[in-house]
């Protein structure tokens, strides 16, 4: 598959040590959050599915580092990392997973519906590729309102075979919308190797066939992701036209928490597990002279924070029953609903 890899040196001035440590802490925060979410699921404290993004942290942190707070971002069923990187409150997110009051969606949305409009997080979406169309609507609204916001959407490689994504690519290119498409390519569509069911030379070629310029980078190299995402976000904002970013990564767990991923080739899995984006970034920081104590503290702080979020969620109250009737369409008194049956 065609892969034009970004040169990390494109960005110019390197980020400060404080910025790099903050990015490392966010990656650790995402991983600790995902591990805690799985533990809560197996303990029966979290209902519904939990899709972990362990191994894909550099994509979330790198792309969101390039976005402004008021830029829009739409996510997927594997969206915890995207929400945290975009600035959503991880404590409120944990309350949401536990179905408690104070959650990002009032405890009613659960794992696959994390949203926070205050930080531009349009929300996760359990329907593959449908988050993309939501983001396209936000990008169109920015044009109509004369705002310089852009919209971005995360989606997996499996979404490249879904009609809504192809329609979204066509629409943004045809009328010119400030939209960044981000393909988070982990090689698998649920339990199916994507390459086995996808024709043609790859995601970028499909985007380019519809008039959307496309580039790619190593999604496990945080510096490379920040570099290319920053440049592409700036271009989308300035030129008011779409772009497609293809980032290769690897999910280190199964499709969802109970999935043992036995469908993956053992040798391939073992080889891919050697490339951990967090470990790679820590090596880069040490090579740049960042003290070991500061690097270790980033991990410890993140784990301690997530432990506190879990402790809070375990004792937080459930929402009152009346809250079940908020945030829904008002069709009148219950006796009037019979006419809609």
For residue 287, tell me if it sits in a domain: yes
Q: Among candidates 155, 166, 135, 100, which has minimal Cα distance to 319?
A: 100
pLDDT over 70 percentage in the chain: 93
For residue 12, tell me if it sits in a domain: yes
For residue 1, tell me if it sits in a domain: no
Rounded average pLDDT over 8-14: 53
For residue 333, tell me if it sits in a domain: yes
Expressed as residue numbers, the domain containing 285 is 8-340
For residue 187, tell me if it sits in a domain: yes
Give yes or no for a contact between 176 and 136, defined as CB atoms under 8 angstroms apart: no
What's the pLDDT band for 102 if we cut at 50, 70, 90? very high
Report pLDDT for 322: 82
Q: 232: part of which helix (H) or strand (E)?
A: helix 222-239
> What would the pLDDT profile of 46-73 be if each residue is shown by its tens digit?
998 899 999 999 999 999 999 999 999 9
For residue 2, tell me if it sits in a domain: no
CATH number at residue 125: 3.40.50.970
Which value, to the nearest 10 degrees, does the dihedral of the CA atoms of residues 14, 16, 19, 25 take? Answer: 100
In this model, does residue 5 exceed pLDDT 50? Answer: no
What's the pLDDT band for 12 if we cut at 50, 70, 90? low
Report pLDDT for 77: 93
> What would the pLDDT profile of 110-130 be if each residue is shown by its tens digit?
999 999 999 999 998 889 999
Report pLDDT for 337: 53
For residue 3, tell me if it sits in a domain: no
Q: What gap in Å lies between CA 242 and CA 236, rounded to an integer?
A: 6
| pTM of the full structure | 0.91
For residue 198, tell me if it sits in a domain: yes
**Count: domains in the chain:** 1
> What would the pLDDT profile of 190-248 be if each residue is shown by its tens digit?
999 999 999 999 999 999 999 999 999 999 999 999 999 999 999 999 999 999 999 99
How do 192-193 and 188-189 pair as beta strands? antiparallel
């Amino acid at each position: 598959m065609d892969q034009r890899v970004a040169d990390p040196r494109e960005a110019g001035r390197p980020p400060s040590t404080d910025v790099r440590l903050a990015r490392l802490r966010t990656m650790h925060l995402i991983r600790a959050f995902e591990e805690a979410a799985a533990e809560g699921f197996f303990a029966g404290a979290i209902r519904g599915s939990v899709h972990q993004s362990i191994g894909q942290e550099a994509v979330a942190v790198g792309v969101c580092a390039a976005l402004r707070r008021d830029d829009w971002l739409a996510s997927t069923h594997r969206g915890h990392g995207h929400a945290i990187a975009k600035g959503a409150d991880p404590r409120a997110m944990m309350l949401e997973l536990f179905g408690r009051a104070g959650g990002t969606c009032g405890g009613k949305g659960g794992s696959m519906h994390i949203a926070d409009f205050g930080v531009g997080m349009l929300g996760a979406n359990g329907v593959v590729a449908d988050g993309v169309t939501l983001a396209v609507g936000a990008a169109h609204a920015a044009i109509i309102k004369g705002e310089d916001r852009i919209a971005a959407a995360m989606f997996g490689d499996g979404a490249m075979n879904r009609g809504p994504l192809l329609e979204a690519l066509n629409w943004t290119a045809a009328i010119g919308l400030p939209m960044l498409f981000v393909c988070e390519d982990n090689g698998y569509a649920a339990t199916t190797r994507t390459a086995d069911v996808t024709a043609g030379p790859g995601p970028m070629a499909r985007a380019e066939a519809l008039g959307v310029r496309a580039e790619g980078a190593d999604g496990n190299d945080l510096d490379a992701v920040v570099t290319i995402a920053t440049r592409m976000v700036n271009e989308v904002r300035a030129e008011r036209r779409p772009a497609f970013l293809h980032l290769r990564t690897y999910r280190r767990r199964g499709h969802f928490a109970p999935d043992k991923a036995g469908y993956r080739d053992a040798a391939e899995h073992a080889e891919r597990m050697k490339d951990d984006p967090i470990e790679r970034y820590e090596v880069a920081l040490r090579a740049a002279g960042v003290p070991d104590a500061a690097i270790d503290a980033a991990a410890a702080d993140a784990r301690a924070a997530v432990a506190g979020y879990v402790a809070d969620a375990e004792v937080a109250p459930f929402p009152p029953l009346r809250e079940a009737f908020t945030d829904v369409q008002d069709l009148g008194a219950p006796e009037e609903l019979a006419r809609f049956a």
